[in-house]
Structures are given as C-alpha cells and as structure tokens.
Amino acid sequence: MIDNIREFLQVYVDNWSSWAPQIYAAVCVTIQLTVASFSLAIVLGMLLALGKMSPFAPIRAVCIAYVEVARGVPVLAILFLLYFGLVPLGIVFDAFTASVIGLGLGAAGYIAEVLRAGIQAIHKGQREAALAVGMTPLMTFRHIILPQAFRIILPPLLNMLIILLKDTSICSLISTDELMLRAKDLAMMSFRPMHLFLLAGVIYFLLAWPLSIATRRIEKAMQRGRRQTFGT
C-alpha cells in the first residue's frame, strides 16, 4: 500500500517541471475568467435588481423575465449560443470573451435576487428619513441604503463567487484555455488522467477555500453584531 502511494506521488515529482508552467498559466486564466465574469454579473445584477424594484411596470417586467430565463437556462447552453450559435449571424467571440459574457449573463440572474433581497431588507423608514432631510434618491441609495445592504449581501455574494469559480470548468467545452482544459490536454498527452484531474480538483479547492473561510467569518461577525444590537 505504501509503495503504491509512493509510486503514485513519484509521478508528480517526475513530471512537475513540465506540468507546472502550463498549470500555472491555466490557473491565471481561470482567475481572470472568474474575476471578469463576476464583475459583469455584479454590474448587470445591480441593474436588474433596481429594475425589479422600479415603479415602471415595463421595466419590472423585462427585468423579471430576464432573471427567470437566466436562472432557468443552463450556463452551458448560453456558452454554446455565444460561441457557436451567433457565428451564422456574423457575430464571432473568442473563447475567453464568450466565457466571460456567458458566465456573467448566467450569474447575473442569481446575483440580482441577492442584491434585491439585501436592499429590500433595509427598513423603508431610513430611506424616508434621508429624503426628509434633503438627500436625493441617489444620495440616499449610495450613502444610506447600499452600505447597510452590503453587510447583508456580502456572504451570499462570496458564495456566488465560489460557484462561479467552479463553473469556469464548463468553459473548457468551448476551448477556453483554463485549468480543466489544460488538465485534460496534459492527461491525454501523459496518459495520467487520475493524476491531472486530481491535481485540478485540489487547485480548485485551494482557490475556493479562502473564500469559504471568509464567508463563514463574515456570517459569524454579523451574528455577533445582531446579538449585541438586540442585547441577547
């Protein structure tokens, strides 16, 4: 048993010099893809959240429809549509751009609901008080509502970031040169699928683990704040 484990680990030692540069480059692409798509999802999600709370019925209807479609359609279908389906129309995206847009469009539907719930959790009296002292609606939202809502929405947003990080692996199906695609290519060349996919899984875990820890600590801090506020 020990000899088998030693032999298994020796494969990493023997191949690390050739694997490491390619794995490192793929990890960088994965991180860039995660950050770019999450940024897009945050911006679009905020617009959708505000649209769903709009007093104008047509705007609400459009935003509600988008959120329902985004949450109901698989991300892979969105990626295939962007990368393959738009080509006959003369619209061509490279794999990375299609991945950023596809992941961002899909995640925006979920993030919109997180943001909307956080904003609506703030008591309406605070908004009314801010308007009563002469603040504009934009100033009220920026300085009163959003800072308080941020504490509520931060943990679920970090969870969404973790999900988005793992979803980047789907982008290998449209040839985005991220971690999973690179692991698959190296596995095919070296005939070491177990070693490469295990390594990829460990790297995904190491990338997501700090975010998980941050989420738990923020949630605990918020719970302590609530107990202190209510004196329990």
Q: How far is CA 129 from CA 44, 132, 133, in A?
A: 29, 5, 6
pTM for this entry: 0.88
Helix H or strand E encompassing 208: helix 193-230
- Specify the long-range contacts of residues 203-209, CB closer than 8 Å, at least 24 apart: 203/23, 203/27, 203/179, 204/165, 204/166, 204/169, 204/179, 207/27, 207/30, 207/31, 207/165, 208/162, 208/165, 208/166
Please tell me the CATH code under which domain 2-230 is placed.
Answer: 1.10.3720.10
* pLDDT by 10s per residue, the chain, length 232: 777 788 888 888 889 999 999 999 999 999 999 999 999 999 999 999 999 988 899 999 999 999 999 999 999 999 999 999 999 999 999 999 999 999 999 999 999 999 998 888 888 877 778 778 778 877 887 888 888 888 888 888 989 999 999 999 999 999 999 999 999 999 999 889 999 999 999 999 999 999 888 888 877 776 665 555 545 5
Give the number of C-alpha atoms closer than 13 A to the C-alpha of residue 24, restricted to the C-beta side.
6
